[in-house]
Structure 1
Amino acid sequence: MRRYLFPLILGIVGCAILVQLGLWQLDRRDWKEGMLEEIRTGILAEPVPLPAKVDPSMKYLPVTVSGTTTGAEIDVLSHTRGQGAGYQIVSRFVTDDGRAILLDRGFVPQEARRVGRPPVRLDVRGNLHWPQDASSSTPAPNRDENIWFARDVEAMAAELDTEPVLVVASFIQGDNQGAEPIPVAVEGIPNNHLSYAVQWFLIAATWAVMTLALIWRIRQRSY
């Protein structure tokens, strides 16, 4: 019996830890779903005029802005399921009260990137956003071709001489010059906690099987 004690304890403790990790991931899933529902409700709330002072705590706030594009823009490499590869057009936008901000007007296919988009007046409904598009492997912008590979509010604001404020359009009244708005949505926010939980439970099951196999081998050697 003593020969079985250590592997049995190791197996029980290991399985208990792995199961607890799986249960913790399930709790995280429930928390994330609640957070996503809160964000979704905020995105779809009644829009307000663009606040005088804006900061990242206002992420996803629905706003309305009216003003004029200036013709200056940044083309961010992007894609959609329906149209494939293309670009999101981030324009320099001067509001009626004289503020220069960034306006994500939406998506254009590759062949429309070089189409002229001169100044135009627009009435916009959208959401404030500070996207986290970049990763450690994201290339630096190709400024010679005006192609960016991620939206970076601070860097784009410096490039276009605007406030570090980005409005992602959900609806535009006026000539959007071929760009199709891509509204902010929670679908881009990962919620992988269920798959993580399944992985921990599978590891726990594997640990249990290995423990039983070890005990069986010890038993076989005792004969």
Structure 2
Amino acid sequence: MARTTRVRMIGFGVFAVAGLALLLGLGIWQVQRLAWKQDILARIDARIAGPAEPLPRNVSEAADEYQPVTLTGQPRDAAIRVLVTTAELGPAYRLIYPLDLPDGRAVLLDAGAVPATPGSDIPDLGDTLTVTGNLLWPDEVDGFTPDPDLDDNIWFARDLPTMAATLNTDFVLVVANARVHPDILPLPITSEGIPNDHLQYAITWFSLAAIWAGMTLLLLRRMARSTN
């Protein structure tokens, strides 16, 4: 009987050590992922805050995301309203204007947000506008995003391909980093919205490892007592 119990204890101990090693390995991996993500966010922040350059002739997401640019163009009267929530305004509409450039191109301008009040007008940005902002390819659309309400001009995400097709512009979005109209609150790009949950994941795995180790010691102690 005692020998059988010892064999069971050895088998259980091997299983427990393997489980503990797995949980600790997952925690260490998340710590490594945390350092990797922090490095990415630091590089994104540095790029967002870099010097503004003229809009490149050939723009691509891989090469130009977050690039600060400055450009001058003619904003059109039409604008897309994207429903958002902000700390300053509460429910609001993010305004996406088409901007015609002197070289014949047209891009999308995220001018910022206005309160989402019934019957609110879309501000007129004037005949010519010089704006500084950052290039962005938003990733906001998934299988749960409702289709835009085109009749009331209410969108639920910045769907860049659909917005560009609707407003007949290039597949380019510039997010203003300063006020372009007194009534529009700028919503500049920051890295704060980029998920970085690796620290919480690491704490979870290490906590599970501690619980696993505690339960293992408790069970081994009980099994040892049964042999006496």
What TM-score do you get using the length of structure 2 for normalisation? 0.91
1:219 Cα shift?
Answer: 2.7
Q: Give the SS at the match of 1:186.
A: coil
Counterpart of 2:135 (choices 128, 131, 145) is 128
- In structure 2, the partner of 1:171 is 178
The one-character-per-residue Cα deviations of 1:71-119 (angstroms, maximum 9, x if unpaired) are 1111001111122110100011111222111000001111287314346
Q: Give the SS at the match of 1:187.
A: coil
Q: Is the 8 A contact 1:125 1:172 kept in 2?
A: no
Larger Rg: 1 or 2?
2
Instruction: State the distance in 2 between where 1:92 and 1:5 align.
Output: 71
1:166 Cα shift?
Answer: 0.2
Counterpart of 1:2 (choices 2, 7, 19) is 7
- In structure 1, the partner of 2:3 is none
Q: Give the SS at the match of 1:102.
A: strand
Residues 156 and 182 of structure 1: is their aligned pair in 2 closer, same or farther, counting only changes over 3 Å?
same
| Fraction of identical pairs, as percent | 41
Counterpart of 1:93 (choices 96, 99, 104) is 99
* Count of paired positions: 221
Map 1:71-150 to 2 at 5 A.
71-111=77-117, 114-118=120-124, 120=126, 121-150=128-157
1:213 Cα shift?
Answer: 2.7
1:65 Cα shift?
Answer: 0.9
Greater strand content: 1
Residues 195 and 62 of structure 1: is their aligned pair in 2 closer, same or farther, counting only changes over 3 Å?
same
Q: Is the 8 A contact 2:179 2:185 kept in 1?
A: no
Instruction: State the distance in 2 between where 1:113 and 1:129 align.
Output: 29
Q: Is the 8 A contact 1:102 1:167 kept in 2?
A: yes
Residues 113 and 153 of structure 1: is their aligned pair in 2 closer, same or farther, counting only changes over 3 Å?
farther
1:178 Cα shift?
Answer: 1.5
Q: Is the 8 A contact 1:122 1:172 kept in 2?
A: no
Instruction: State the distance in 1 between where 2:13 and 2:92 align.
Output: 58
What TM-score do you get using the length of structure 1 for normalisation? 0.93
Q: Tell me how large the CA RMSD over aligned residues is.
A: 1.6
Instruction: State the distance in 1 between where 2:8 and 2:117 align.
Output: 72
